[in-house]
Structure 1
Amino acid sequence: MLDAFLTFINQHKLDLKKQPCLLTVSGGVDSVVMLDLFHKAGFPAGIAHCNFGLRGEDSEGDEQFVQQLSDKYGFPFYTKRFDVKSLTQKKGISTQMAARELRYAWFEELRTTHHYTYIATAHHANDSLETTLLNLVRGTGLSGLSGISAINNHLLRPLLLATKEEILGYATENALPWREDRSNDSDDYKRNQIRHQVVPVLKQLNPSLESTFIQSSAKLSSADRLLKEVLDEWAASIVVKTGDQVRISKAGLMSESEPAYRLWHILQDYGFAYAQVGKIVEGLNGISGKIFQSASHTLLIDRQDLIVRKSTVNEVDYYIQIEDNQQTAEFAGQCISLTKKSSNTDNNFVNSPNSVSIDYDKLVFPLQLRRWRLGDAFQPLGMNGRRKKLSDLFTDLKMDHFAKQQTQILVNGNDEIIWVVGVRLDERYRITESTQQILQAFLSTHE
């Protein structure tokens, strides 16, 4: 088994003599065998052991056992006791999930503090098979069918090419001691149900199930990587990221085969499930404006594009008060710079969406900067005497839902709209020949 272990390391082009690993050792046979292999190979390592205190005296015995192993092999030893129950109550998650979250956070802390390159876990081929079967039951894509990856960032699983039977055989042959976790015999956990009830039936159909799975897993992993390369290259041609928004061309998407799978490839990073993606694709030829939510992002079906942005909590309506001689007003990652000057100092009164010149003498302070509201109306620059609802203006400008949502208005002390910020000035506040003083307002975005 040592030869197979070294072959695995070489296949993945790892130089573990120069890249020390933090070995996660529970005291079970898998982690003990991993520890012995690292020692025999002469790879530098440290040992990390978690004591969750969930098994009473057995937990204490596990910690003492692993500490004795560290003394025997001459590796640095790290241990920590965790309060799993507090985290389960705080977050409302299972004991298993809480324990996983706590231990991996601690492993990463140890890795960076003590300069280990990898965190090595003792997952083996049977674990990978069980993971694949669980993913298949829950619903998964191609990556979920390829099992556990050998290397994932700083996580290393050097025993994946070994079966449980091979690990037990190595431990017995080398007279290695280990601790048994009696919770592994219980069917209270889904993984144990797979291990004790499903896998034995599959092995009756194929006695070489684990070996076959290792080969299939390698093929599926290769196919998944190849497919991602192709889809990433294609996605780059139809996806544009601007600021906090992602735009996906509807035409570019619908001109290809399997649009739902292609879209899911893009959207899965934003928390959208495959079932949602199917409904999004169904709505592409419908009326624009439909919105879909994931746990973290919002997607808008607009006229030409799908627009994705991180979801924000709806804030209570608010306003910012602007006093006379105030030089800046900041809101929602943007800033309005205000400069007062005499009309005879600058004859350039050109207005743009982001820079406006306002007749200062018509202002009643304090001004207000607030969100636009349904029913708001003003006189757009160039439309003498004609009022227009902001909602109609936004429709004319073909503004999408997100752009409307972000729009602010600058309001005079007499409740008249002075400027639809970043869109248009009100006709009543433009510079004329009789203007004596000017307030120049410039909109900028914080990087």
Structure 2
Amino acid sequence: MLKDFENHIKNTFPFLQEEAFLLACSGGVDSVVLAHLCSRLNLDFSIAHCNFKLRGAASDADGQFVEELSKVLGKKFHTTTFDTNSYVDLNKVSVQMAARELRYQWFSELMQKYKYSRVLTAHQADDDLETFLINLSRGTGIDGLSGIPALTDSVARPLLPFSRNQIVQYANKEGLAWQEDSSNTDTKYLRNKIRHEIVPKLKELHPTFLDNFLNTKEFLQQTSEIAGNDIAKLKAKIFKENKGVIKIAIDSVLTLKPLKGYIYALFKDYGFTEWEDVQGLLKATSGKEVRSKTHRLLKDRRHLLLQKLMPLDDSEFKIEEHLDKLNWPLKLTIKPVLNITNTSQKILYVDKETLKYPLTVRKWRKGDYFYPFGMQGRKKVSKFFKDQKMDTIAKEEQWFLCSGGQIVWIIGRRSDRRYSITEKTKSILKFTLEE
């Protein structure tokens, strides 16, 4: 196995021969063998171990074992402990998901601090098969059926071509010791149920089942890559981004066949899972939207608008009388002038004596109204938005300059005549919206 592993590193992960990396070690047979193999090849790595405090003294014993292993191999040792159960309660996730999020966040911090190129994990072929079956049972596209990726920007998994049996045989042949995690036999967890009850039956039906899976996985990954290249070209053509908002013409989506497959391929990377709802937006009324954990997809007339979710901003930013500049949340310069010179939508001239300090900059609120310059009477801001044909996202991102709770300027769009310059004006203030 050592020779096969060495050839695999040379052919697939040659950069590991030149870079310092982090190796995640739980103390189990897979990660212990990975550490020994990397050591035998004289690779430059340090060992990281997470104690999730889930098995009491057994968890502590695992940490002590990995620390001793690091000393034997002459490698730097990093360790940390997590209050995993509290994380589960706070974030409403499973124990497995909590452990995953916690450890990868910590790995990222270590890589940044110590300049490790990436982290190696000990996922092997049987883990890959189990992940395939889990994804298959939950319903997934081709990406979910392509198994665990061997390489990402920050993670490498050089044991994926090797089976659990190969790894155990190598460990026994080399006389290696490892820790057994009792939770790995608990079939209340889906992965363990698949590992102990389903995979053995599949291997019994077909002795070369694991090898066949690895071959199929390779074809699926290649097919996924081909499809991904085509989808990237399509996105470049129909996804039009401007200031963080992607605009997609609905007509360009409706021409795609098969429609459901294209919708999945176009939007899966943005966290959406309710595909019937996403497809329904194509014929929904304007204003309807679908949200994932990270993004929103909004119907606006003839377009879909895709935007990363941002925290709702109900803040007010004050402008005191002595200030001549506001740098956040947008850039405004304020200065007294003697008369009106250049004009544009980005410039506002007001009668200073009509203002009540502090001024505020805020977002739109339901019921807002103003007295538009150049018009009689007052107008609801919502009606102004409609007349301007502003989409929902543009409305949410619009800022207002206010005085005493009243709108002075829909910034960059329209001013309120109550604050305009008259023949009685003694002091003129000029507000300029900077790019």
**Alignment TM-score > 0.5, same fold:** yes
TM (normalized to structure 1)? 0.85
Paired residues for 1:71-82 under 5 Å: 71-82=71-82
Query: Paired residue for 1:296?
Result: 294
Deviation at 1:231, TM superposition (A): 0.8
Query: Paired residue for 1:439?
Result: 429
Distance 2:245 2:161 in 1: 42
The answer as to 2:416 corresponding to 1:403 is: no
Q: Which has the larger radius of gyration?
A: 1
Distance 1:380 1:367 in 2: 22
1:370-389 CA-to-partner distances (Å, cap 9, x unmatched) read 54444544443443x35443
Deviation at 1:187, TM superposition (A): 0.9
1:81-132 CA-to-partner distances (Å, cap 9, x unmatched) read 4443443344444433333333333334444444433322221100000011
Paired residues for 1:215-234 under 5 Å: 215-234=215-234
Deviation at 1:64, TM superposition (A): 4.2
- Cα 1:302–1:184, aligned 2, differ >3 Å: closer, same or farther? same
Deviation at 1:417, TM superposition (A): 4.7
What secondary structure is seen at the aligned counterpart in 1 of 2:305?
strand
Query: Paired residue for 1:155?
Result: 155
1:388-442 CA-to-partner distances (Å, cap 9, x unmatched) read 43322221210111222333444566x8754332211345655567766533222
Distance 2:110 2:77 in 1: 11
Maintained 8 Å contact 2:284/2:299: no
Distance 1:80 1:375 in 2: 52
What secondary structure is seen at the aligned counterpart in 2 of 1:300?
strand
- Cα 1:211–1:301, aligned 2, differ >3 Å: closer, same or farther? same
Matched letter for residue 280 of structure 2: E
Matched letter for residue 353 of structure 1: Q
Distance 1:178 1:4 in 2: 22
Maintained 8 Å contact 2:355/2:419: no
What secondary structure is seen at the aligned counterpart in 1 of 2:165?
helix
Deviation at 1:256, TM superposition (A): 2.4
Query: Paired residue for 1:357?
Result: 349
What secondary structure is seen at the aligned counterpart in 2 of 1:19?
coil
Matched letter for residue 419 of structure 1: W
Matched letter for residue 336 of structure 2: K
Query: Paired residue for 2:285?
Result: 287
Distance 1:164 1:321 in 2: 63
1:38-92 CA-to-partner distances (Å, cap 9, x unmatched) read 2333323333333445444544443444344334433334444444344334444
Deviation at 1:33, TM superposition (A): 2.2
- Cα 1:38–1:399, aligned 2, differ >3 Å: closer, same or farther? same
Matched letter for residue 295 of structure 2: H
Query: Paired residue for 2:189?
Result: 189
Distance 1:98 1:376 in 2: 44
1:256-289 CA-to-partner distances (Å, cap 9, x unmatched) read 223444344443343322x2x4323323234322
- Cα 1:69–1:388, aligned 2, differ >3 Å: closer, same or farther? closer
Report how many residues are paired.
434
Query: Paired residue for 2:138?
Result: 138
TM (normalized to structure 2)? 0.87
User: Which blocks of at least 5 consecutive residues in structure 1 are unaligned?
Assistant: none
CA RMSD of aligned residues (A): 3.1
Maintained 8 Å contact 2:313/2:363: no
Deviation at 1:206, TM superposition (A): 2.0
What secondary structure is seen at the aligned counterpart in 2 of 1:356?
strand
